[in-house]
Copies of this chain bind each other. A is one copy, B any other.
Amino acid sequence: MVASCFADGLERWVTFSQAERQALARLEERQRSVKRGTVLVRENDPSGDLFVLREGTAMSYVLLDDGSRQILRFLFPGDLLGTPALVYPRSPETLVALGDGVVCPFDRTAFTALLTEHPRLAAVLLALHQADRAALTDRLAALGRTSARARVAGLLVELRRRLLLAQQVRADGSFIPGLTQEEIGDATGLTAVHVNRMLRQLEDERLIARENGRVRLLDEPSLARTANYVDRFGTLNLDWLPPAR
């Protein structure tokens, strides 16, 4: 039996019945390895499979008419990718691997079958969506109302938190962002040049340290404060879910 990376991630909040776990595992029967830059879904292409990200990181972004890019989300192992395919005949966003990794593609119908056979899973997804949405609105507030420095700080804090869960942070607290400064800029609504300046500034302020590609947050609380950072997945409460079947 294939273990479910997706279920593993969710079990931080819910416990699944044997039947549910098996059903979820079925989504990850097929595997496909990808390398940095592999495009899983391209904006405006007809919707196809969905994916569970098993290993590595990925991102989704949109391109604007003038060619500029807005990165919407960074994705980590256990995340569900390409859900817009459920309702849009053409994908509203591009999905790209940020590093070498493994994804499990599965058919849309497999997903809808899952929802009808295990209604509780629909409720779980609905709940997770709330958290996802809160994270998005946090970013909205960051782009609309905070300084470049705060946005870069926020990205680093968030990145470290996610990489911690994926065991990608060394004992000394250092990690490899795995993003170019241009990508950081496209996520935070800045230019690569200005991202560079903000990183330098944070370094000069002894809030972060950088050496050969690794970053260390020297004062995470302070960084989190300047970024208005709130962990939207920490206070999640799913007690109201119907009992497992």
CB distance from A221 to the nearest CB of B (A): 14
- Given contacts A69-B145, A88-B237, A123-B115, A130 and B242 within 8 Å (CB-CB): no
* A134 sits at the interface (CB 8 A): yes
CB distance from A123 to the nearest CB of B (A): 5
The closest CB in chain B to the CB of A230 belongs to B92
Q: Which of A132-190 contact B (CB under 8 A)?
A: 132-134, 136-141, 143-146, 186, 188-189
Give which listed residue, B70, B115, B126, B139, contacts A129 with CB less than 8 A.
Answer: B126
B116 near A70 with CB under 8 A, answer no
Which stretch (A30-38, A79-87, A95-103, A197-205) binds chain B? A79-87
B240 near A108 with CB under 8 A, answer yes
A146–B126 Cα distance when bound, in Å, is: 31
Chain B residues within an 8 Å CB radius of A86: 126-127, 130, 240
Determine the main DSSP class of A at the interface with B.
Answer: helix
B109 near A115 with CB under 8 A, answer no
Which stretch (A1-9, A15-23, A60-68) binds chain B? A60-68
A22–B123 Cα distance when bound, in Å, is: 20
Give which listed residue, B90, B127, B146, contacts A235 with CB less than 8 A.
Answer: B90
B68 near A115 with CB under 8 A, answer no
Interface size classification for chain A: 35 or more
Chain B residues within an 8 Å CB radius of A244: none
Give which listed residue, B70, B87, B241, contacts A130 with CB less than 8 A.
Answer: B87
A237 near B89 with CB under 8 A, answer yes
CB distance from A122 to the nearest CB of B (A): 4
B112 near A144 with CB under 8 A, answer no
A242 near B116 with CB under 8 A, answer yes
A126 near B115 with CB under 8 A, answer yes
A-B contact pairs, 8 of them (CB 8 A): A68-B145, A72-B140, A86-B126, A87-B238, A112-B123, A115-B242, A133-B133, A143-B144
5 nearest interchain CB pairs? A144-B189, A119-B119, A70-B141, A122-B122, A143-B143
